[in-house]
Structure 1
Amino acid sequence: MPEDIKVLFTPTDAAVGGLAGFQAAQAIDDCMEAWTKALRSLAGMVGSTADAVGSSAKGFTHEDQERRKAFLGPTLQASAHRASTRRTVGTEHAGLGAP
């Protein structure tokens, strides 16, 4: 998004140039600088938040897998693995693919 703000520079610069000598020219320029700064800050915050959400999701997935393993225990884990292996063996040749 910060790069997208550049499309506003040309019309803003034209307005500032057309109002040379007027206080409005400086006000428009100051406004554009303030908005540019605010939008860059917002883009940074959104990016940081997205990273945090992704990290949180990975943490929940990992924790869920660990809880599953703890619930099943070593004996049931091996049994579940053997059962999933049996379900997929031979399905490739029948054109069924993995379930």
Structure 2
Amino acid sequence: MGLARFGLWSLSISQDQPGDLEAKIVALLGATTQDLSRWHVLTGRFRAELFCGVFMPGMNWGINLSPAIQAAIGQRGLELDLDIYAADVDDSLPPQDQGLA
């Protein structure tokens, strides 16, 4: 029996609405080791990413992460992968008629 060439370890948290992306990342990282040397071993050997699906209520909404959480992600050698989704809007209407202005 040979070794698998790829696999997946997955850790997830609740998907409550509305979501606070930063709080969820803090909770997710808090459920893992804080020992950065262990992270460096893992991310040096395997591709590792922090995948987040972000659902926005409409077009042109923003989201931000504090420098502290950005540093925590980077210190672990994680790639941040965001899939951002926006509610459907009628592109034929001007922004003020879509509640976006």
Output the TM-score relative to the length of structure 2: 0.28
Structure number, greater radius of gyration? 1
Tell me which protein shows more strand as a share of its residues. 2
Tell me which protein shows more helix as a share of its residues. 1
**Which has the higher relative contact order, 1 or 2, with Cα contacts under 8 A spaced 6 or more apart?**
2
Output the TM-score relative to the length of structure 1: 0.28
